Amino acid sequence: MQYRLLGKSGLRVSELCLGTMTFGEEFGWGANQDESRRIFDAFTAAGGNFIDTANYYNHGTSEIYVGECIRAERDALVVASKYTLRRPGANPQDLNGGGNQRKNLRLSVESSLKRLGTDYLDLFYLHVWDWTTPAEEVLHGLDDLVRSGKVLHIGISDSPAWVASYAQAITELRGWSRLAAYQGEYSLRQRGVESDVLPMTRAMDMSMLAFGMLGGGVLTGKFNQAGGPGEATRAHEATPQELTMAAAVLEVAQECGRSPSQVAINWVRQQSDNIIPVLGARKVSQLIDNLGALEFRLSPEQIERLSQTNPRTPAYPHTFWGDWVQKMIFGERTADLHGLQE
């Protein structure tokens, strides 16, 4: 395990993050407390210090389990949580039981701290953009939490790039705590962040926390194997194109002598230097396998071969930036500016 700085901050975090949405069984899947502890121990034994949870994960059980795990070494760990989705125990009729408004922000962070058994969070995310709360209200509330010491750094997840970049500009204009991280889904199967979100995180000096790297299990190849665990649901969960992606992952995995999961993770983490993969596992054996991604790198040829199974399909305005536009801007010397867009 190696380490890096979180966004434009001095906080040192491991190059992989442990996602704990699987801690608890209230969602109908996941790990019990003993297995969750084994997963946590395997991650920290490998040098991991970055733990991710949320108040909504298994209706609060994830935070409770994480709290038990971190108790003996709290200050040596970087703990992140999130708010927006309905608070555990909130009255179903309470319109402010979820959302990004200051009221839910305050109540959510207080209840998360209690479940985690700590008096501060290293990183606190807005979980989902709710399309109603003004950005200024969110950012001022988060800055107040930083100034109070209950939160050290802030982030945003599952939100449009324009929201995150607008928010970052406000923090710089007002002198408020800036966004250190963005968390979003990213995999060979789901490349949507490449158009705006990923370039935005680089431009705004934010770490990109990537989850869902196995494409809902599709990229492990389980739907490609006759008689395999995914065969019964193949028609519902994997399209012909997704089966082609998975076949390419399996082929590269065989070439490398590695597991498909490790290949899928490395395809993501080699896309940009600011990406930190969020590993999710229901069994300690799955986590140990995922950690094997640290032991090798894919070649540029292998990355390109995988990428071609699901080519990026930019939409307007990205499609407007073509050779003729470059020529109209830079004249005849466009070849001298190769890579300028990056």
In tens, the pLDDT along 136-174 reads 999 999 999 999 999 999 999 999 999 999 999 999 999
Sign of the Cα torsion 34, 35, 40, 42 reads positive
The values of phi and psi at residue 305, to 5°, are -65, -40
Segment 9-38, tens digit of pLDDT: 999 999 999 999 999 999 999 999 999 999
d(CA 221, CA 260) in angstroms, rounded, equals: 7
Mean pLDDT, residues 277-284: 97
Q: Residue range 310-331: average pLDDT?
A: 83
Catalytic: which of 3, 56, 57, 166? 57
CB atoms within 10 A of CB 292: 14
Nearest to 145 by CA among 164, 167, 122: 122
Q: 3-311: which CATH topology?
A: TIM Barrel (3.20.20)
pLDDT digits (tens, 9 = 90+) for 38-49: 999 999 999 999
- What's the pLDDT score for residue 48? 98
Tokens of 281: 């596992």
- Tell me the average pLDDT of the chain: 94
The number of helix segments (H) and strand segments (E) in the chain equals 12, 10
Query: Is 336 a residue whose pLDDT tops 80?
Result: no
**Please, what is the angle between helix 33-45 and helix 284-291, to 10°?**
20
pLDDT of residue 228: 57
The pLDDT of residue 338: 60
pLDDT, average across residues 133-137: 98
The answer to whether 112 touches 121, Cβ cutoff 8 Å, is yes
What is the pLDDT at residue 287? 98
The question of whether 57 is a catalytic residue gets the answer: yes
pLDDT for residue 229: 53
Cβ atoms of 124 and 81 closer than 8 Å: yes
What pLDDT, on a 0 to 100 scale, did the predictor assign at position 236? Answer: 56
Cα separation, 269 vs 274, whole angstroms: 8
When pLDDT is averaged across residues 250-274 and rounded to a whole number, the result is 98
Q: Which residues of 103-130 are buried (b: 16+ CB within 10 A; e: fewer)?
A: ebbebbbebbbebbebebbbbbbbbbbb
User: What's the mean pLDDT in 313-342?
Assistant: 74
CB 26 within 8 A of CB 61: yes
Helix (H/G/I), strand (E/B), else coil: 119: coil
Tens-place pLDDT, residues 38-96: 999 999 999 999 999 999 999 999 999 999 999 999 999 999 999 999 999 999 999 99
Q: In 46-67, which positions are buried (b, 16+ CB within 10 angstroms) versus exposed (e)?
A: eebbbbbbbbbbbbbbbbbbbb
Closest to 46 measured CA to CA, from 73, 15, 75? 15
How much is the pLDDT for 3?
A: 98
Name residue 67's amino acid. Answer: G
The dihedrals phi and psi of 27, each to the nearest 5 degrees, come to -80, 0
- Count of other CB atoms within 10 angstroms of residue 250: 18
